[in-house]
Amino acid sequence: MAPAATDAARTTAGNGSAASSGRPAPPCGGIARPTSCRARRGVYGGPTGANPLDEGVETPLDRGLDRSPSAQTAIGSARGRCGRHGCPSLPRSPRLQVVVVRLPAFVPVLVAVLSVGAVVIVGADALGIDRPAASAAAPTAAAETRAAPVARGRPPHDDAPPLLGIATGEEAGHIAYPDGPALPALPGEIRSVEVMVRNDGNELWQATGANPVMLSYHLYDADGHLIAWDGLRTTLPFDISPGYDGALALRVALPARTGTYSIKPDLIRDGRAWFSSLGTPQSAFPLRVTSDLDATYGATTAPASIVPGGEVNVEVRVKNTGLRAWPAGGDHPVHLGYHWFDMSSNAVVWDGVRTALPHDVAPGEEVAFTVDMRAPQGEGAYALAWDMVQEGTAWFSRVAVPMKEDTVVVERGVTFYGKGWGHGIGLSQWGAQGWAEGATGVRLVGEQIVAKYFPGAQLSRQPISLPFRVLLSAPSTACIARTIWNVARMQSPGGMRLVNDADPSVTYFDAAANQPVGFTTYGSTLIATDGWSGRQVYVGEDTVTLVPKQWWDPIGIDQKGLAYRGNLQVQVRDEGNLRVVNYVSSDDYMRGALPGEMPNDWRIEALRAQAITARTYAAWRQSTAGDRTWDVRDDTADQCYGGRSFESPRTSAAVESTAGQILTYAGKPIRALYSSAHGGISENVGCLLEAERVGTTWRCADGWPYLAVVDDPAELAAYDARGQNPHQLWSRFFSGGEIRRQIVEDYGIDIGDFVSLELNMSPGGRPVSVLVRGTHDWVDLKGDRFLRTTLGLKSTLVRMIPF
């Protein structure tokens, strides 16, 4: 494991959130900065600060946007600046143009929202429900104390089992959604959805006045990103009394860009709160915005970095999601093209090579292209934008179809921008410190911290087992660059006995207090010598053990400069060197390992979490040792263990307070991995250490459910006495020649002059594999090995542009 502490320079970073009444403002990049966050390239065709539903704001289609190179200003407005980086949308203005959505009567819509009791919204025509007039009847006892139960696609019934309990008079609710495929609609269309509303509360919903109740919704894209929090608000046509059950029209404004969206209906008491903000569960129904010419772009193999003017083949998958077929020939064939934009959204190369369809493509059909892509000549970061075009008609982006964008860096070498230190799997030590100190406003204890990092694992009591066996000799170094080869000298303050390992009743030498015993080898023969007299006390090929006369006294090893609790086993390895193994109890091992893995001045709950994790890791290694004569090494290959010499009062207290505690899954110790800092997110072990070879590339293996992707905001805000986490951001540059040389040395393959580098990313945002192309050859390398071992990077959480 990588050491957790360093005195290196540290950087600081802020974190926070912002919200306005009824309209929460999601943070940008984890930091609330609504005035400085770069605008997002959103579905409305402009920055999120310029919602075309706001009064006085035009969409690109309204402006008749020209996509030629000369129309750079319009292109920039249409594309925004940071949509591909996931910059979340800012709060929308409540001043909206009226854009009404009319769903046909055949569309089944079911939405239930509860307020001051409950409200139910159901597609009336589709469900064949009569629309009763307003009723002032008193609600049932059940309705006074719980939300109305609503099943998917079915109207609510008073005798159905409760789904949500609420106190009488509180505004709360439950939202259900319709079955079936996404509802079709045109870009920018305005529809009115007819819904059924029932007030199961005990308060009047006023349509006018200081705080009227209104119908509204929240709009999300296919990835769950918020597009519009404050959808059109529909005024109630009249006051709604408790017990009312009838039809109302909900106005919905559809985005100006094609794609699949999610609509979450909601009620709001104006000036007070959304009903969902009071704990009301929400569901949603999908809606597909499409047109005659529409496309959905899938995965590409675009490089992350390429040399100026470099040429590579890029695989691009595109699906026809429009209403008509794409012709491969004729007067107006459909092709795939691409554009290059700089980071200011200026077109650098407008019309890249156009690639023909292999055949006519019907609606719903997907096609794969192989594109001969050429990079710009100037160095810098670019957006490579894929765009279908019908010759003589229009680029698809002109008819509201979003382009697919890949970020590509053009430079004569590769700069890696990274976060974190270590493999990034399991527990983050800096994250544990952050949770223990309440860096995010939530303070966790050790048991809660390990539960967060190892989802699904159980906290268990370690059964009585054999002592841990810790390798102290080469190649193990105790993390202090000192080891044992073919010579060792040992002594104990209370004296020790040299015995036969197989039969401890056979004693070869009885050493007095601080009387040393020296060991050396001659071929396969072990030689033990009295350090005071120089007399050989043992010569043979058996394994021997040094046992302290007083169990609490450690045995010191001069070559390591450290002393150890427990017994020391000594034997000759096949190579003719000594093998020295420390036999030590689980908790005594932890007393000597915890200080080597985490600073002893860190928060006690972080130390407790580390103790549970490290003890579990050693137990897992012991359970999988097989024919090995040791369980763990004493260095970063396993855990930094310094024996009695490393112990400190605070770390020993953490060990004692968690004595015998380990994490298990299916009754066995888990592979409790950890590293110094994960960059704010932990990775699935199957995508890094256990990635599997498939054909010419690598892909994520199944891994283990307790070593999964875990977001870690506490790590990003963590600090200690020396400052903030020093591994938050770093960078490193390699020339093309360096990359070529490292690949030759590590893999024996000469790729020629470096051309490009492609990252095959995992769901957690780390490269599963790295494809490196040269003028002579290409290689697809396992991401973790290439980045951390071959190139020596601090972690695999890397990008080609700064985070």
Query: Domain map of the chain by residue range?
Result: 110-289, 296-412, 458-662, 682-799
CATH 1.10.3720.10 fits 296-412, yes or no: no
Tracing tokens 């970063």 back to the chain, one arrives at: 636
Query: Using an 8 Å Cβ cutoff, are 281 and 273 in contact?
Result: no
Report which residue type is found at 738: E
**What pLDDT digit, counting tens, does each position of 291-322 carry?**
999 999 999 999 999 999 999 999 999 999 99
What mean pLDDT is predicted for residues 198-211? 87
Q: Considering only 86-100, 397-411, 518-532, which range has the smallest mean pLDDT? A: 86-100
Weakest mean pLDDT among 103-117, 301-315, 379-393, 442-456: 103-117
CB 185 within 8 Å of CB 202: no
Give the residue, 544 or 96, on which the prediction is more confident: 544
Torsion of CA 91, 97, 98, 101, to 10 degrees: -60
Tally of CB atoms within 10 A around 522:
11
The pLDDT of residue 134 is above 50: no
Query: Does 30 have pLDDT greater than 80?
Result: no
| pLDDT score for 7 | 36
Nearest partner of 478 among 635, 644, 645, judged by Cα: 635
| Separation of alpha carbons 393 and 444, rounded Å | 60
Of 103-112, 281-290, 389-398, which gets the smallest average pLDDT? 103-112
Supply the DSSP string of 592-619, one letter for each residue: HHHHHHS-TTS-HHHHHHHHHHHHHHHH
pLDDT at 575: 83
Instruction: Name the nearest CA neighbour of 111 among 53, 56, 151.
Output: 151
Mean pLDDT of 515-534: 97
pLDDT at 9 (0 to 100):
34
Q: For the segment 340-371, what is each residue's pLDDT rounded down to a tens digit?
A: 999 999 999 999 999 999 999 999 999 999 99
pLDDT of residue 181: 60
3-state secondary structure of 209: coil
> What tens digit of pLDDT does each residue of 37-66 get?
333 333 323 333 333 333 333 333 233 333
Q: Which residues contact 201 (CB under 8 A, 6 or more apart)?
A: 114, 115, 116, 117, 118, 139, 143, 144, 169, 171, 242
How many other C-beta atoms can be found within 10 angstroms of the C-beta atom of residue 615? 28
pLDDT at 281 (0 to 100): 63
The neighbouring-strand residues paired with 428 are: 675
Q: Are 326 and 361 in contact (CB under 8 A)?
A: yes
Q: Is the per-residue pLDDT at 159 higher than 80?
A: no
Tokens 């002893």 -> residue: 600
Query: Measured between alpha carbons, how far is 324 from 365 in angstroms, rounded to an integer?
Result: 11
Question: SS3 for 781?
Answer: strand
* pLDDT for res 38: 30
Residue 27 confidence (pLDDT): 32
Rounded Cα–Cα distance for residues 623 and 324 (Å): 61
Among the residue ranges 196-200, 718-722, 787-791, the one predicted with the least confidence is: 196-200
What average pLDDT does the chain have? 81
pLDDT tops 60 at residue 685: yes
- Given this chain, do its domains 110-289 and 296-412 carry the same CATH topology? yes
- Answer whether residue 631 shows pLDDT above 70: yes
pLDDT at 694 over 90: yes
Candidates 150, 110, 111; CA nearest to 126 is 110
| Residue matched to tokens 């990079």 | 375
Contact 707, 428 (CB under 8 A): no
d(CA 709, CA 670): 16
Q: Judge contact between 433 and 721, C-beta under 8 A.
A: no
Please compute the mean of the pLDDT values over residues 693-715 and round it to a whole number.
96
Q: What is the pLDDT of residue 711?
A: 97
List, in order, residues 6 or more apart from 331 with CB less than 8 Å away: 391, 392
Please report which confidence band the pLDDT of residue 19 belongs to, taking 50, 70 and 90 as the band edges.
very low
Q: Is residue 69 very low, low, confident or very high in pLDDT (cuts 50, 70, 90)? A: very low
Whether the predicted pLDDT of 142 surpasses 50: no
Q: Mean per-residue pLDDT for 738-754? A: 98
Choice between 191 and 63, residue whose per-residue pLDDT is larger = 191
Helix (H) or strand (E) holding 527: strand 525-530
For the chain, helix (H) and strand (E) counts, in that order, are: 12, 53
Asked whether 192 and 101 are in contact (CB, 8 A), the reply is yes
* Coil, strand or helix at 740: helix
Give the pLDDT mean for 407-427: 98
- Reported as a pLDDT band with limits 50, 70 and 90, residue 552 is very high
Three-state SS letters, 375-430: CCCCCEEEEEEEEEEECCCEEHHHHCCCCEEEEEEECCCEEEEEECECCCECEEHH
Q: pLDDT by residue (tens digit) across 243-298?
A: 888 888 889 999 999 999 998 888 899 998 898 887 766 778 788 899 999 999 99
Question: Residue range 468-492: average pLDDT?
Answer: 94
Q: Answer yes or no: is pLDDT of 717 > 90.
A: yes
Other Cβ atoms within 10 Å of 35 Cβ, number: 6
Which band of pLDDT confidence, cut at 50, 70 and 90, is reported for residue 497? very high
Report d(CA 423, CA 416) in Å as an integer: 16
Task: Give the pLDDT score at 395.
Answer: 97
Which has the closest alpha carbon to 766: 683, 677, 674?
683
Residue with tokens 């060991």: 519
pLDDT at 133 over 50: no
Q: What pLDDT does residue 275 have?
A: 82
Quick one: 110-289 is in which CATH superfamily? Immunoglobulins (2.60.40.10)
Q: Residue 587 in 3-state DSSP?
A: helix
Q: Tokens 């015998």 — which residue? A: 660
